[in-house]
Chain A
Amino acid sequence: MIQIEYFFILSGLLFFIGVFGFVTRRNLIAMLISIELVLNSVDLNFAAFNRLLFPDGSEGMFFTLFSIGISAAETAVALAIIINVYRHFHSDQVNSIENMKW
């Protein structure tokens, strides 16, 4: 039986790696991947809690599936935006689009 702490440690690691990557990376694709890591850590938490706290129910599992679907759609939208940004600014670096303000 895997201890519940192991899940938490893994998901915590994933979360902070994602956050760190989002803040430090300049490449838009890399930032998107970091966001996906954050989402995956949450999905993992959902599944672990459902399995360990409410073994008879399956709401957590469904919610995980739901979240994966959403994140797939979100990735598609984000990629479309990134492609447009690239076409417009001829760059995939996040600091090249700093004039999107005011």
Chain B
Amino acid sequence: MFDYAFLILLLPFLSFLLLGLLGMKMPKKVAGIIGTCVLAVLFGLSLYTAYHYFFYTGEYEAMKETFHVVNGRLDGGQGVYPTVTVFNFTWLRFTELLTFNIGFRLTPISVMMLIVITTVSFMVHIYSFGYMAERDENYKAEGYEKGFQRFYAFLSLFTMSMLGLVVATNIFQMYLFWELVGVCSYLLIGFYYPKHAAVHASKKAFIVTRFADLFFLIGILFFSFYVGTFNYDMNVTPGLTEKLTAIAANPALQWVLPTALFLMFIGGAGKSAMFPLHIWLPDAMEGPTPVSALIHAATMVVAGVYQVASLLPIYIQFHATEQLHWIAYIAAFTAFYAAAVACAQRDIKRGLAFSTISQIAYMLVALGVCTSLEGEGSLGYMASMFHLFTHAMFKALLFLCSGAIIVIIGSNFKDYMGGLHKYMPITNICFLIGTIAISGFWPLAGFFSKDEIVDACFNFAPALGWFMTLVSGMTAFYMFRLYYVIFWGQSYYELDPEHRRRPQEVPFVMWGPLVLLAIISCVAGWIPFGHFVSLNGLPEEIALQHFEFGSTAWFSLLAATIGFGLATWMYAGKKQPVADALERTFPKLHKAALNRFYIDDAWQFFTHKIVFGCFSIPIAWFDRHVIDGTFNFLAWGTNEAGESIRPWQSGDVRQYAVWFITGTVALTLVLLCLV
């Protein structure tokens, strides 16, 4: 049924090879069209896959399983939507039992991710026609390499890696593609490589995520050593549940699963920019804006969420719920911290980046408050995946809008914007839709997904619920602040219309994707998501979609309204007396927020002063002097010995003859004496 699935990985890879090897030989337009066409095909394949998976395979399995409901769960753990392994072949054989497989696995969330990735990637491919062309012109004067073809090649590679990650049949395959998306992120952040900031940002992103991935790898090794397999899906791996149960029941090995899972989460925290490993994401905004939309807002940064969600059944069933709650607390703090920093940013892309961190933290909080496989304790799982889906759409929308503004203004800083609603009406509407959606106002997408998360938090602990409600108020505040300083207030252009470029609307290739994503952001909240994705596989209802607003929804709506009101009061006008007064009253707080509360500096201190100063330099000295010294001495000794006996080979044949004869005679005499 899904025999064509290998194309979903093969096509973008072929497109990468084609564009990467021959791209520079073909005109820009052709390269872009090849990349976009491949993505169009992928988008179609993903939609077809989703349609078949959710409406044929699933229904059929449900019919078969209807009579095997045990304790509210469908027998065999298959649920309504079974895990379909399309293919799974051995790539490497480590031992008889432990093999590294590459496969293609469909589950409700991986199908959902296929849709997210291909939709956003497709939109970004179209949008980049306008964005990258414009940028090429701008940067020509500064000697930037024209990398239109290179850009599309990297986008293809990224799409392939991300698709490979979400369809992974085992944790090792996930790790492999996990590293590949990291490489793509590095390549694309440093896309404008003559720019120093871009190079530094790409290095920072790569090193920080690689550092976190080290823990992921250690976690995988723990897991595979004790469990004996890389597979994590208990539905399709025979014997996995028994093995895990045996390990969890053995007092000497009880630490294994929680430790391994938490180490894996640290890898996920690096990718998903959780505090204190979030420092790379704001800097990653040096990359081209379509990349920020695709990689650093919608897809790659949710890899950590996807990883925790994939392993969630193991967390819950095998006594790692404590670790799960730590994840929730870390994420809740991150959400608050990022929201606070986002309130003070002057660079609009960095503001959006902190908003992304905050929203991803929401998803992880929702996963972290899961306590059971069914009922209220499992609500967070569905809410988290729902938020992942809707957030990908409206955050990609917001980033693409900000890209349109940056192309027109030529700067990331809010000081050069203001009053753009007159000049860029379509972008204005789209950005407003994105802002309303992320702020969580009914009836746009964010309301349903985020309030579901807040609801799950209230179920877990009311304090956490109130905390997340507060953060959702802050979300509304900083997003509307961003909206007002860009589109309303004093226009930078109108201050000096003679000498400044008049802002204008972006071309159709750029606003087309914006409008499409805006439409998706409007309607995505009405998808009966709980029918498709839930932890135990049984359909769940999202109460909000049936106008059953519980008290929690009213609270977060109220918080969002307060945030919206505050932002309007402070930032909507031409002058911003309240905001300026606050900045003057609390200069230290403002400066700290602007500098991201000095976390980057703390890391800088930690790596340079402590790690380099106390460990790296002594180790380097030992390496250079002791280890290198030993081998240098050996080499020196050999060389000297050779030099001293070299004259023996004089080239004089008669001399050799004398030596030979003397030696023979001497040997003969010795033998004679011995005998």
A residues lining the B interface (CB < 8 Å)? 19, 22-24, 26, 31, 94-95, 97-102
Q: Which 3 A-B pairs have the closest CB atoms?
A: A101-B651, A98-B651, A100-B651
Q: Could you tell me if A95 and B658 are in contact, using CB atoms closer than 8 angstroms?
A: no
B contact patch SS: helix
Q: Which chain B residues numbered 640 to 661 have a C-beta less than 8 Å away from chain A?
A: 646, 649-654, 657-658, 661
Which residue of B649, B650, B651, B657 is within 8 Å of A23 (Cβ)? B657
Q: Compute how far the CA of A13 lies from the CA of B653 in the bound complex, rounded to whole angstroms.
A: 23
| B653 partner residues in chain A, CB cutoff 8 A | 31, 94, 97
Which residue of A19, A26, A98 is within 8 Å of B661 (Cβ)? A19
In the complex, what residue of chain B is closest to A20 when comparing beta carbons? B661
In the complex, what residue of chain A is closest to B647 when comparing beta carbons? A101
| B652 partner residues in chain A, CB cutoff 8 A | 94-95, 98
Q: Compute how far the CA of A31 lies from the CA of B655 in the bound complex, rounded to whole angstroms.
A: 13
Q: Compute how far the CA of A22 lies from the CA of B661 in the bound complex, rounded to whole angstroms.
A: 11
Chain B residues bordering chain A, tally (CB within 8 A): 10
21 A–B contact pairs at CB < 8 A? Answer: A19-B661, A22-B654, A22-B657, A23-B658, A23-B661, A26-B654, A31-B653, A31-B654, A94-B653, A94-B654, A97-B651, A97-B653, A98-B650, A98-B651, A98-B652, A99-B651, A101-B649, A101-B650, A101-B651, A102-B646, A102-B651
Query: How far, in Å, is A74 (CB) from chain B's closest CB?
Result: 16
State the total of A-B contacts with C-beta under 8 angstroms. 28
Query: How far, in Å, is B665 (CB) from chain A's closest CB?
Result: 10
| A95 partner residues in chain B, CB cutoff 8 A | 652
In the complex, what residue of chain A is closest to B654 when comparing beta carbons? A23
Q: Compute how far the CA of A70 lies from the CA of B667 in the bound complex, rounded to whole angstroms.
A: 26
List 20 additional A-B contacts (Cβ < 8 Å) besides A101-B649, A101-B651.
A19-B661, A22-B657, A23-B654, A23-B657, A23-B658, A23-B661, A24-B654, A26-B654, A31-B653, A31-B654, A94-B652, A95-B652, A97-B651, A98-B650, A98-B652, A100-B651, A101-B650, A102-B646, A102-B649, A102-B651
| A24 partner residues in chain B, CB cutoff 8 A | 654
Query: How far, in Å, is B252 (CB) from chain A's closest CB?
Result: 66
| B650 partner residues in chain A, CB cutoff 8 A | 98, 101
Q: Compute how far the CA of A97 lies from the CA of B646 in the bound complex, rounded to whole angstroms.
A: 18
| A97 partner residues in chain B, CB cutoff 8 A | 651, 653
Query: How far, in Å, is B651 (CB) from chain A's closest CB?
Result: 3
| B657 partner residues in chain A, CB cutoff 8 A | 22-23
Query: How far, in Å, is A69 (CB) from chain B's closest CB?
Result: 24
Query: How far, in Å, is A84 (CB) from chain B's closest CB?
Result: 15
In the complex, what residue of chain A is closest to B650 when comparing beta carbons? A101
Q: Compute how far the CA of A9 lies from the CA of B406 in the bound complex, rounded to whole angstroms.
A: 109
In the complex, what residue of chain A is closest to B646 when comparing beta carbons? A102
Query: How far, in Å, is A45 (CB) from chain B's closest CB?
Result: 15
In the complex, what residue of chain A is closest to B652 when comparing beta carbons? A98
| B646 partner residues in chain A, CB cutoff 8 A | 102
| B654 partner residues in chain A, CB cutoff 8 A | 22-24, 26, 31, 94
Q: Compute how far the CA of A22 lies from the CA of B656 in the bound complex, rounded to whole angstroms.
A: 11
In the complex, what residue of chain A is closest to B661 when comparing beta carbons? A19
| B649 partner residues in chain A, CB cutoff 8 A | 101-102
| A98 partner residues in chain B, CB cutoff 8 A | 650-652
Q: Compute how far the CA of A57 lies from the CA of B219 in the bound complex, rounded to whole angstroms.
A: 83
Query: How far, in Å, is B666 (CB) from chain A's closest CB?
Result: 15
Q: Compute how far the CA of A3 lies from the CA of B652 in the bound complex, rounded to whole angstroms.
A: 41
Q: Which chain B residues numbered 245 to 299 have a C-beta less than 8 Å away from chain A?
A: none
| A22 partner residues in chain B, CB cutoff 8 A | 654, 657
Q: Compute how far the CA of A24 lies from the CA of B653 in the bound complex, rounded to whole angstroms.
A: 11
Q: Compute how far the CA of A95 lies from the CA of B650 in the bound complex, rounded to whole angstroms.
A: 11
Q: Compute how far the CA of A100 lies from the CA of B653 in the bound complex, rounded to whole angstroms.
A: 9
Q: Compute how far the CA of A24 lies from the CA of B650 in the bound complex, rounded to whole angstroms.
A: 17
| A102 partner residues in chain B, CB cutoff 8 A | 646, 649, 651
Query: How far, in Å, is B646 (CB) from chain A's closest CB?
Result: 7
Query: How far, in Å, is B647 (CB) from chain A's closest CB?
Result: 9
Q: Compute how far the CA of A23 lies from the CA of B652 in the bound complex, rounded to whole angstroms.
A: 11
Query: How far, in Å, is A78 (CB) from chain B's closest CB?
Result: 12
Query: How far, in Å, is A32 (CB) from chain B's closest CB?
Result: 12
Query: How far, in Å, is A50 (CB) from chain B's closest CB?
Result: 23
| B658 partner residues in chain A, CB cutoff 8 A | 23
Query: How far, in Å, is B623 (CB) from chain A's closest CB?
Result: 35
| A99 partner residues in chain B, CB cutoff 8 A | 651
Query: How far, in Å, is A102 (CB) from chain B's closest CB?
Result: 6
Query: How far, in Å, is B107 (CB) from chain A's closest CB?
Result: 71
Query: How far, in Å, is A96 (CB) from chain B's closest CB?
Result: 11
Q: Compute how far the CA of A31 lies from the CA of B654 in the bound complex, rounded to whole angstroms.
A: 9
In the complex, what residue of chain B is closest to A34 when comparing beta carbons? B657
Query: How far, in Å, is A89 (CB) from chain B's closest CB?
Result: 12
Q: Compute how far the CA of A98 lies from the CA of B651 in the bound complex, rounded to whole angstroms.
A: 5
Query: How far, in Å, is B662 (CB) from chain A's closest CB?
Result: 10
Query: How far, in Å, is B40 (CB) from chain A's closest CB?
Result: 69
Q: Compute how far the CA of A98 lies from the CA of B652 in the bound complex, rounded to whole angstroms.
A: 5
Q: Compute how far the CA of A98 lies from the CA of B647 in the bound complex, rounded to whole angstroms.
A: 12
